[in-house]
């Protein structure tokens, strides 16, 4: 099967990727990544510090010098994994679309991809498009669902796996989800990584089932409802900190 993986340029995406690839051996894989989620925007200082923390972790993991930029980290990771990773603005037009179309994917899988897929891209793979969302749907659509769950003082969080069938954000028929205990004494980053550690084996199993033509017993949840959350503002981050919560 020709499998196109859509990821973002951040530590959680790479963490998920490193754990997924050994579980889907035998597939012909191509990886396209975005450089950020959505359009460039100003983000709180604390989120920049988090991004720098992620970059330092990857530098240590790949044994590349401090101060190495993201493109060099990407090349090192690609070499380590043995799979090319190409940065694109999206896959709805331009270079990203041409790379996707020329690959002729049977299935596409999105993990933190930073561009909303449009019908032209969604309808290309014969087995559809699967999204691994790092939040429980439909309550936490959008970005940084673990952050928002912590800010709301929830006792649980989790992940959702669903089909992408239109340009809605984190909508589409639900395949599977898992509720995990949320420890407000632990930091956001550690719990996000723990979420992907749980989710990736399930995603690999769903990919295998999709290749074999197994139709999943879909969940009855309506992922188009619920709430949508965007990138936290300075005020959101300040409230997070005031509650004694930590990003990393």
Are 91 and 118 in contact, with CB atoms under 8 Å apart?
no
158: Cβ contacts below 8 Å, ≥ 6 apart? 135, 136, 177, 178, 179, 180, 195
Strand pairing report for 156-163 and 129-133:
antiparallel
Alpha-helical segments (H) within the chain: 11-20, 45-62, 70-81, 94-103, 119-122, 145-151, 188-211, 234-242
* Residues with pLDDT less than 50, the chain: none
Q: What is the pLDDT of residue 69?
A: 86
Q: Which pair of tokens denotes residue 119?
A: 């019908």
pLDDT tens for residues 31-65?
999 998 876 778 999 999 999 999 999 999 889 88
Residue 224: predicted pLDDT: 65
Q: What is the pTM of this model?
A: 0.95
Please state the domain extents for the chain: 2-242
> Which CATH number is correct for 2-242, 3.40.50.170, 2.30.330.10, 1.20.1250.20, 3.20.20.150?
3.40.50.170
| Cis status of the peptide bond prior to 138, with omega within 30 of 0 | yes
Give residue 71's pLDDT: 87
pLDDT at position 215 is 78
């Amino acid at each position: 099967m020709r499998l196109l993986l859509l990821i973002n340029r951040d530590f959680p995406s790479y963490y998920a990727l490193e754990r997924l690839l050994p579980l889907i051996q035998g597939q012909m894989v191509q990886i396209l990544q975005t450089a950020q989620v959505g359009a460039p925007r100003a983000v709180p200082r604390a989120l920049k510090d988090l991004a720098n923390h992620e970059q330092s972790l990857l530098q240590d993991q790949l044994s590349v010098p401090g101060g190495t930029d993201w493109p060099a980290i990407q090349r090192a990771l690609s070499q380590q994994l043995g799979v090319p990773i190409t940065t694109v603005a999206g896959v709805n037009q331009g270079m990203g679309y041409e790379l996707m179309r020329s690959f002729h994917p049977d299935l596409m899988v999105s993990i933190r991809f930073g561009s909303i897929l449009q019908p032209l891209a969604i309808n290309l793979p014969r087995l559809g498009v699967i999204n691994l969302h790092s939040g429980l749907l439909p309550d936490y659509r959008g970005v940084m669902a673990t952050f928002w769950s912590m800010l709301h003082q929830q006792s649980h969080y989790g992940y959702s796996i669903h089909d992408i069938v239109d340009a809605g954000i984190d909508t589409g028929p639900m395949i599977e989800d898992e509720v995990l205990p949320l420890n407000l004494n632990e930091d956001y980053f550690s719990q996000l990584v723990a979420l992907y550690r749980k989710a990736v084996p399930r995603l690999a199993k769903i990919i295998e089932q999709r290749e074999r033509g197994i139709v999943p017993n879909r969940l009855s949840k309506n992922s188009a409802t619920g709430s949508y959350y965007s990138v936290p503002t300075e005020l959101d981050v300040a409230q997070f900190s005031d509650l004694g919560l930590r990003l990393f």
